[in-house]
Amino acid sequence: MTSSQKDQVLQELRSQIALANAQELMQKMSEKCFKKCIYKPGTQLDNSEQKCLAMCMDRYMDAWNTVSRTYNARLSREHSSGGLQ
């Protein structure tokens, strides 16, 4: 395999992973924010529902980042103390 072929394989792999990640996030956000913001589905998304959805999406991202940070810190702690992983 030439190095440009390798680069191509890696790029393909990385973009597939990024796509899967984005899809998972979209699916979770839709599900969670629908649950929080749409109590009685009406004939359209009204203004307050849209505001709630926007806020909910931002908070979901915050939560995701907090989880990621915490989990990462835990992993490196267990790693260095010779625990699991």
Rounded CA-CA distance 65/77 in Å is 18
One-letter amino acid of 46: D
User: Does residue 45 contact residue 53 with C-beta atoms inside 8 Å?
Assistant: yes
Number of residues that bind another protein (CB under 8 A): 34
Q: What minimum distance in Å lies between the beta carbon of 20 and another protein?
A: 7
Interface with another protein (CB under 8 A), residue from 34, 46, 50, 55: 55
User: Does residue 78 contact residue 85 with C-beta atoms inside 8 Å?
Assistant: yes
User: Does residue 70 contact residue 43 with C-beta atoms inside 8 Å?
Assistant: no
Q: What minimum distance in Å lies between the beta carbon of 43 and another protein?
A: 24
Interface residues toward another protein, by CB under 8 A: 1, 6, 9-10, 13-14, 17, 20-21, 24-25, 28, 32-33, 36-37, 52, 55-56, 58-60, 62-64, 66-68, 70-72, 74-75, 84
